[in-house]
């Protein structure tokens, strides 16, 4: 990224791609400083007296996302430790050996040998990339599951559907990294299954996004407001019932007043 747009960059060795990336990092630092300032004010007792009471929820979906995400992060750390202890140093030594052999074959004009070493280096790079990708994916999915557990009170879906989407997300989060590791042994079959796991995660995320968009803020309504609304509706129904009773005493057409009562109940209730 450092070499993107070097020809038109104000710096001789840093391109516009790196400048834009650093600018985004600077914006992130500014946002974090603002958040840190707010936390400091809150710790010093400067918090607002009218803070929002976030809805508390102790549902199965929230607990499963929190615990499942923690397990995924732990598995990612364990895999990273195992890879660093068992394969990382071996692969570094193997890479140095391949590069030395490639240089020697090229100096001796042994083109078939040099081409063979290039293939060996390509296979080694693929093995390293697969392990790094699986390690990063499983940790990222774990962090994603933990973050999703915090917004479950705002996912306006039934508990049954929440459970379905949570199971789908956690299953996909485990399937994708596992079959990414198996790509070197099983090839495109494992790659296809890994893509299916990614699709499962995407579907679950879209479903939860729909639930967030459907959130109507019912949990934020104050109890006195809800009680006032219920009393108002009950008053409308009482007025309608009193009107019907008075009308029945004065008119013999009971069916007509029944229709009037139905309209009043539907329109005001």
pTM: 0.64
- What's the pLDDT band for 53 if we cut at 50, 70, 90? low
- What's the pLDDT band for 92 if we cut at 50, 70, 90? confident
Between residues 227 and 11, the one the model is more confident about = 11
Gap between the Cα atoms of 22 and 255, Å rounded: 77
What are the tens digits of pLDDT across the range 99-146?
A: 888 888 888 888 888 888 889 888 888 888 899 999 999 999 999 999
Please answer whether residues 223 and 205 qualify as being in contact, where contact means their C-beta atoms are separated by less than 8 angstroms.
no
Residue labelled with tokens 């609304």? 229
Q: Coil, helix or strand for 225?
A: helix
168's CB contacts (< 8 A; 6+ apart) are: 200, 201, 203, 204, 207
What are the φ/ψ torsions at residue 244 (nearest 5 degrees)?
-70, -45
Gap between the Cα atoms of 111 and 115, Å rounded: 6
Vertex 55, ends 51 and 59: CA angle to 5°?
155
> Among residues of the chain, what percentage have pLDDT more than 90?
33
Burial 198-219 (b: 16+ CB within 10 A, else e): bebbeebbebbeebeeeeeeee
The structure tokens listed for 25 are 């990092």
Gap between the Cα atoms of 259 and 269, Å rounded: 15
The count of C-alpha atoms lying within 13 angstroms of the C-alpha of 115, restricted to the half-sphere facing its C-beta, is 3
141's CB contacts (< 8 A; 6+ apart) are: 69, 72, 172, 173, 176, 177, 201
Domain ranges of the chain: 1-44, 59-219, 221-268
């Amino acid at each position: 990224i450092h070499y993107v747009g070097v020809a038109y960059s104000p710096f001789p060795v840093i391109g516009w791609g790196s400048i834009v990336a650093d600018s985004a990092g600077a914006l992130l630092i500014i946002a974090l400083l603002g958040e840190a300032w707010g936390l400091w004010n809150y710790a010093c007792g400067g918090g607002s007296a009218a803070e929002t009471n976030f809805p508390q929820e102790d549902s199965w979906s929230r607990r499963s996302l929190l615990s499942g995400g923690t397990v995924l992060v732990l598995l990612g750390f364990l895999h990273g430790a195992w890879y660093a202890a068992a394969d990382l140093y071996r692969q570094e030594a193997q890479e140095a050996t391949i590069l030395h052999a490639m240089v020697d074959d090229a100096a001796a004009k042994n083109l078939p040998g040099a081409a063979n070493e290039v293939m060996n280096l390509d296979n080694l790079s693929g093995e390293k990339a697969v392990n790094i990708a699986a390690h990063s994916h499983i940790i990222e999915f774990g962090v994603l599951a933990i973050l999703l557990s915090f917004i479950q009170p705002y996912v306006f879906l039934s508990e049954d559907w929440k459970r379905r989407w949570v199971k789908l997300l956690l299953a996909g989060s485990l399937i994708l990294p596992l079959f990414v590791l198996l790509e070197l042994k099983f090839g495109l079959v494992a790659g296809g299954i890994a893509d299916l796991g990614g699709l499962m995660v995407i579907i679950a995320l879209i479903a939860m996004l729909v639930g967030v968009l459907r959130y109507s803020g019912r949990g934020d309504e104050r109890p006195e407001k809800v009680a006032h609304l219920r009393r108002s509706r009950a008053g409308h129904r009482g007025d309608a019932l009193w009107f019907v009773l008075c009308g029945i005493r004065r008119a013999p057409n009971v069916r007509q007043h029944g229709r009037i009562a139905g309209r009043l109940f539907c329109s005001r209730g």
